[in-house]
């Protein structure tokens, strides 16, 4: 595949797009702020002061409301796109999605257990109570992914096809269980469960943000170090082995990394689809399949797309707010269909 654009030009364009998305996320909303006030308020959060003007309102809005939300969108978009690249490389299929190994459905099931069965957790420590939903979602995602991986193992080897089929079956089972919890929920709990499944950055806070940032930094550090192995895997498993790569170890690491990244993202922001599917596919069309370029470019594009989607969710029906999962689906599904029709 010949790249349609030079990598350097793409990185410049994506960096500018990300800067624009960051500015829009911090400045625009029900209360819009001038660019100068937004920059000064952001700099004051870092301990830098330019000028002596009072920015109490801007500093409050940016520091307490929009900055945590922006950082959450940045981390979720980046880690979902990176995990999408990892899964497409593992399955050697540009239509693969991180949800194929069950992490998204497992996280949703864990969240449903926490929301609907919350009364059963009455004896937990107060320090853990605010994080119960995220913790259950994270554990659920890791648990289902571990089961998918275990079912795919046989005679010391990991079958990608078996993992795919096991993921499809466990996804169906998890969503059936979620449907059961939905049926058992009362009106208030049902509303909470429904909105969580649609995804949102509305509940962002610094306390909930730092675990996701740590996971995102770890994934962003580790996956590019496996770019050459992913390139070799595109040739086939036997060819990658002949080139000196430990394929079984690479599979384990890719599955674990995806479970960790997507589980943390879903636990922090709910179910947000199409980022891990559309972004890597689009970037691959622009620069080709080289993972040394594809991984960092997808990370920038995923962060930018999710911030822009969140901005649209805030502004379209302001002062009301759309769930961000609806926005990403409305943008991603038609665009993906366009790519499929064009590819035919």
Q: Where are the domains of the chain?
A: 7-343
Of 121, 263, 108, the closest CA to residue 195 belongs to 108
HSE at residue 155, side-chain half, CA atoms within 13 A, is 1
pLDDT value at 119 more than 70: no
Residue with tokens 């366009």: 338
Fold of 7-343: ABC transporter involved in vitamin B12 uptake, BtuC (1.10.3470)
pLDDT value at 293 more than 90: yes
Q: For 172-200, write each residue's pLDDT tens digit.
A: 999 999 999 888 888 888 888 888 888 88
Judged by DSSP in three states, 302 sits in: helix
Q: For 76-115, write each residue's pLDDT tens digit.
A: 999 999 999 999 999 888 878 888 888 888 988 988 888 8
**Paired tokens of 119:** 């009364």
Q: What is the DSSP string of 108-127?
A: HHHHHHHHHTGGGGTTS-TT
Judged by DSSP in three states, 52 sits in: coil
- Gyration radius of the chain's alpha carbons: 21
pTM, to two decimals: 0.90
In whole angstroms, what is the distance from residue 312 CA to residue 301 CA? 16
Find out whether 33 and 27 touch, Cβ atoms under 8 Å: yes
pLDDT value at 49 more than 70: no
pLDDT value at 133 more than 90: no
- The per-residue pLDDT for 29 is 81
Judged by DSSP in three states, 157 sits in: strand
């Amino acid at each position: 595949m010949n790249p349609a654009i030079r990598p350097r030009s793409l990185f410049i364009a994506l960096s500018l797009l990300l800067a624009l998305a960051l500015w829009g996320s911090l400045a625009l909303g029900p209360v819009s702020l001038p660019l100068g006030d937004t920059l000064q308020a952001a700099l004051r959060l870092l301990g830098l002061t330019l000028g002596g003007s009072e920015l109490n309102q801007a500093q409050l809005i940016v520091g307490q409301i929009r900055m945590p939300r922006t950082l959450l969108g940045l981390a979720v978009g980046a880690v979902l796109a990176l995990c999408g690249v990892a899964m497409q490389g593992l399955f050697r299929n540009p239509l693969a999605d991180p949800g194929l190994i069950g992490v998204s459905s497992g996280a949703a099931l864990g969240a449903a257990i926490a929301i609907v069965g919350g009364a059963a957790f009455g004896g937990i420590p107060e320090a853990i109570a605010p994080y119960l939903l995220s913790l259950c979602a994270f554990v659920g995602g890791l648990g289902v992914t571990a089961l998918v991986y275990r079912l795919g193992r046989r005679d010391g080897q990991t079958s990608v096809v078996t993992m795919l089929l096991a993921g499809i079956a466990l996804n169906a089972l998890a969503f059936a269980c979620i449907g059961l919890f939905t049926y058992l929920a009362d009106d208030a709990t049902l509303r909470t469960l429904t909105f969580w499944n649609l995804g949102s950055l509305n509940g962002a806070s610094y306390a909930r943000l730092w675990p996701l940032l740590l996971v995102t930094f770890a994934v962003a550090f580790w996956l590019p170090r496996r770019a050459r192995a992913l390139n070799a895997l595109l040739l086939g498993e036997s060819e990658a082995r002949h080139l000196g790569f430990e394929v079984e170890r690479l599979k384990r690491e890719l599955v674990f990394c995806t479970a960790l990244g997507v589980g943390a993202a879903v636990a922090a922001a709910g179910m947000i689809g199409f980022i891990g599917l559309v972004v890597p596919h689009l970037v691959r069309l622009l620069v080709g399949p080289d993972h040394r370029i594809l991984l960092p470019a997808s990370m920038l594009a995923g962060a930018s797309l999710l911030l822009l989607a969140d901005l649209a969710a805030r502004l379209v029906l302001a002062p009301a707010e759309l769930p961000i999962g609806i926005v990403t689906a409305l943008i991603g599904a038609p665009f993906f269909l366009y790519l499929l029709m064009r590819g035919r």
